[in-house]
């Protein structure tokens, strides 16, 4: 009754595992004559049969990849084993075996990886018909595989979106260039979402564009078809290898890398061989020490997660050049053992270093502007008896995290700058006074016409040399002495001007290793306090 099955097939008793029938292909695979096969225990050929049967009883699955099949001579082959119950004879079941070639194995691995990703991935031929879609694409578009494959854009999307996609994709076919951008897409039942789409050309062996592959990330909250198995593997391989992301499969017991795509090389600079060579030390070698503990907690959460749970994590990894990159990853269980324990996880990670840097700069600038606004309010409430210059100097010190700040006003009649305010630790001021040979407060410096014009032409002047920052007003010998005594990284000279007229200057002493506001922020501060200094002078 199983001769019709085009694969090696055995009928066995469920309770004993004894073979009661087999077809000719099973005889050929097992290297055992049919009469000798009958009555044999299937476990002689499929050692893991009990594990497979247990999972099948639990309803977890009935098809098992990468299962060892041993023939009579003890030779093993990597097979896909399927268990199927016989409805007419409940006490029996059919076991079929399909040997997996290396191409089939890679094809199946690629499909499994792509289907596990939380990003919609697709491929189209040169006619722009869909030739591949992953599970996330089908879920997002609310389509079955049959409903998606072979379809043109106008069969899946409204006219406006379809026309826009057609224009983009025809451009890719013509130019061979990558295109990306945000587009509004429509699911079933008029359900809209915004997708950030990146599409890349697929080239044949002659270097001609034969189709496209792409990914669509849902950001609503913030070319010939290849029919052969080798062709399918090549397309899927191209998709995983050209995607601008890191794909990886990790052994949860050893923390070693099982699979990684070219994104590891493109983003981190390491070859796949180097990554695999790190073995279980990959986390301690590449993950930032400050992020390692949170990553290990995340590992435990993956072990407890269900198969359809996607967990997110942000962490830093070391580039081959020694720098640190920030990644945002999505991970989920990928494979379990017969006891249901997660043995492998799959992940996809994108480099968000530029985004993190931009957000940090934005937050810094917002903090700087908050301090400047607070000073503006404070200046409007000061009394005439208050030390306005000291308030401004202290505000500038707080803004820049400086070691010291001096504030001077310009007297056009005397053509001189006079220190009117200072902000620094008392110890620093005392040592500075000793170096100058007098109290820094009231220190007067003549200003030549040449220096006057040089200051106006350099509203913000950064230099490791105080002599240069003050345009020669502080002698070189004193500048070098101050530099050595106080562990100074550099100075910032700031001109306070109204139009083309100088009203004062500030000198900011920056300690080693301290980051400072941009020239734009310092310029805003200077424009705020210049009129106030002019009024008080």
pLDDT tens profile 487-527: 676 788 899 999 889 999 998 888 877 888 888 889 889 98
- pLDDT above 70 (res 48): yes
Q: With bands split at pLDDT 50, 70 and 90, how would you rate the model's confidence at 219?
A: low
In the predicted model, what is the mean pLDDT of residues 32-51?
89
| Radius of gyration, CA atoms only, the chain | 36
Sheet of strand 120-125, all strands in order from the earlier edge strand to the far edge: 130-133, 120-125, 209-218, 192-203, 179-186
**DSSP states of 133-192:** E-HHHHHHHT--HHHHTT--HHHHS-HHHHHHHHHHHHHHHHH---EEEEEEEE-GGG-E
Q: Say which residues have a Cβ less than 8 Å from residue 80's Cβ, sequence separation at least 6.
A: 63, 64, 65, 66, 67, 97, 98, 99, 100
- Of the candidates 341, 342, 344, 347, which has an alpha carbon nearest to the alpha carbon of residue 287? 347
User: Shortest CA distance to 349 belongs to which of 290, 264, 273?
Assistant: 264
The arithmetic mean of pLDDT across residues 350-372, rounded, is: 80
Average pLDDT of the residues in 193-197: 65
Query: What per-residue confidence (pLDDT) applies to 41?
Result: 93
Other CB atoms closer than 10 Å to residue 277's CB: what's the count?
13
pLDDT at 396 (0 to 100): 93
Q: Please, which residues have CB within 8 angstroms of residue 23's CB and are 6 or more apart in sequence?
A: 2, 3, 5, 8, 9
The proportion of the chain whose per-residue pLDDT surpasses 70, expressed as a percent, equals 80
Q: State CA 406 to chain mean position distance.
A: 44
What is the C-alpha to C-alpha distance for residues 141 and 189, in angstroms, rounded to an integer?
Answer: 10
**Mean pLDDT over residues 239-254, rounded?**
72
101 secondary structure, DSSP code: P
Q: 3-state class of 446 per DSSP?
A: strand
pLDDT, tens only, 49-67: 887 787 777 654 466 666 7
* Cβ atoms of residues 517 and 397 within 8 Å: no
pLDDT of residue 298: 92
Confidence at residue 392, expressed as pLDDT on a 0 to 100 scale: 93
For residue 240, pLDDT beyond 60:
no
**Backbone torsions φ then ψ of 320, nearest 5 degrees:** -60, -30
Listed in sequence order, the residues at least 6 apart from 259 whose beta carbon sits closer than 8 Å to its beta carbon are 109, 113, 247, 248, 249
With bands split at pLDDT 50, 70 and 90, how would you rate the model's confidence at 263?
Answer: confident
| E strand or H helix at 327 | strand 324-336
Which long-range contacts (C-beta less than 8 Å, at least 24 apart) are formed by 318-322?
A: 318/268, 318/285, 318/286, 318/287, 318/288, 319/268, 319/269, 320/268, 320/269, 320/270, 321/269
Phi and psi angles of residue 469, each rounded to the nearest 5 degrees, phi first = -65, -35
Q: What is the pLDDT of residue 195?
A: 63
pLDDT band at residue 228, thresholds of 50, 70 and 90? very low
* Residue 140 banded pLDDT, cuts 50, 70, 90: confident
Q: Is the per-residue pLDDT at 167 higher than 80?
A: yes
Round to whole Å and give the CA distance between 128 and 224.
10
**d(C-alpha 153, C-alpha 212), whole Å:** 13
Closest listed residue to residue 83, CA positions, set 66, 64, 101, 69: 64
Q: Exposed, middle or buried by CB within 10 Å (0-12, 13-18, 19+), for 62?
A: middle
Residue 361 has pLDDT above 60, yes or no: yes
Q: Is 334 helix (H, G, I), strand (E, B) or coil?
A: strand
**pTM of structure:** 0.41
Question: What is the rounded distance in angstroms from the CA atom of residue 514 to the CA atom of residue 490?
Answer: 10
pLDDT at residue 405 greater than cutoff 80: yes
- Report the sign of the C-alpha dihedral through residues 512, 515, 520, 526, in that order: negative
User: 9-13 and 92-99 as β-strands: parallel, antiparallel, unpaired?
Assistant: antiparallel
| 465 contact partners, CB below 8 Å, separation of at least 6 | 479, 483, 491
CA distances from 326 to 164, 250, 355, 396, 397 (A): 33, 19, 9, 32, 31
pLDDT value of position 223? 31
* Average pLDDT of every residue of the chain: 80
Residue 454 phi, psi dihedral angles, 5° rounding: -65, -40
User: What pLDDT shows up at residue 75?
Assistant: 83
Q: Are the CB atoms for 257 and 278 separated by under 8 Å?
A: yes
Residue 242: band (very low, low, confident or very high) from pLDDT cuts 50, 70, 90: very low
Residue 302: band (very low, low, confident or very high) from pLDDT cuts 50, 70, 90 = very high
Q: How confident is the model at residue 399 (pLDDT cuts 50, 70, 90)?
A: very high
């Amino acid at each position: 009754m199983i001769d019709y099955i085009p694969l090696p097939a055995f009928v066995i008793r469920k309770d004993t595992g004894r073979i009661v029938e087999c077809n000719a292909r099973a005889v050929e695979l097992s290297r055992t004559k049919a009469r000798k096969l009958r009555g044999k225990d299937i476990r002689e050929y499929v050692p893991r049969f009990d594990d497979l049967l247990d999972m099948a009883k639990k309803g977890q699955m009935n098809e098992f990849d990468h299962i060892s099949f041993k023939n009579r001579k003890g030779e093993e082959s990597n097979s896909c084993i399927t268990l199927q119950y016989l409805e007419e004879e409940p006490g029996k079941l059919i076991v079929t075996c399909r040997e997996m070639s290396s191409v089939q194995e890679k094809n199946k691995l690629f499909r499994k990886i792509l289907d596990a990703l939380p990003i919609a991935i697709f491929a189209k031929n040169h006619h722009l018909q869909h030739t591949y879609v992953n599970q996330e694409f089908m879920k997002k578009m609310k389509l079955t595989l049959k409903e998606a494959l072979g379809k043109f854009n106008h069969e899946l999307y409204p006219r406006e979106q379809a026309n826009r996609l057609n224009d983009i994709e025809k451009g890719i076919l013509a130019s061979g260039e990558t295109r990306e951008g945000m587009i509004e897409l429509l699911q079933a039942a008029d359900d809209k979402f915004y997708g950030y789409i990146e599409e890349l050309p697929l080239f044949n062996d002659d270097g001609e564009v034969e189709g496209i592959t792409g990914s669509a990330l849902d950001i609503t909250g913030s070319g010939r078809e290849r029919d052969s198995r080798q062709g399918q593997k090549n397309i899927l391989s191209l998709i995983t290898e050209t995607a601008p992301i890191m794909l990886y499969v990790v052994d949860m017991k050893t923390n070693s890398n099982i699979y990684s795509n070219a994104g590891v090389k493109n983003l981190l600079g390491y070859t796949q061989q180097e990554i695999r060579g790190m073995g279980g030390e990959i986390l301690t070698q590449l993950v930032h020490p400050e992020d390692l503990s949170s990553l290990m907690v995340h590992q435990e959460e993956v072990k407890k997660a269900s198969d359809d749970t996607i967990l997110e994590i942000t962490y830093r990894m070391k580039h081959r050049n020694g720098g640190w990159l920030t990644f945002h990853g999505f991970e989920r269980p990928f494979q379990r053992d017969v006891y249901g324990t997660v043995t492998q996880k799959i992940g996809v990670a994108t480099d968000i270093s530029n985004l993190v840097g931009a957000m940090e700069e934005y937050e810094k600038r917002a903090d700087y502007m908050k301090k400047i606004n607070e000073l503006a309010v404070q200046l409007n409430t000061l009394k005439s008896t208050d030390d306005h210059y000291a308030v401004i100097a202290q505000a500038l010190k707080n803004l820049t995290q400086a070691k010291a700040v001096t504030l001077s006003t310009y007297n056009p009649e005397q053509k001189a700058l006079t220190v009117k305010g200072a902000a620094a630790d008392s110890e620093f001021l005392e040592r500075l006074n000793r170096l100058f040979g007098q109290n820094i407060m009231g220190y007067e410096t003549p200003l030549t016409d040449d220096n006057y014009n040089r200051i106006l032409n350099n509203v913000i002047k950064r230099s490791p040399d105080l002599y240069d920052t003050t345009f020669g007003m502080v002698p070189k010998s004193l500048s070098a002495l101050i530099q050595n005594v106080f562990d100074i990284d550099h100075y910032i000279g700031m001109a306070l001007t109204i139009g083309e007229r100088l009203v004062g200057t500030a000198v900011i002493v920056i300690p080693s290793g301290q980051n400072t506001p941009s020239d734009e922020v310092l310029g805003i501060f200077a424009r705020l306090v210049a009129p106030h200094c002019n009024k008080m002078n």
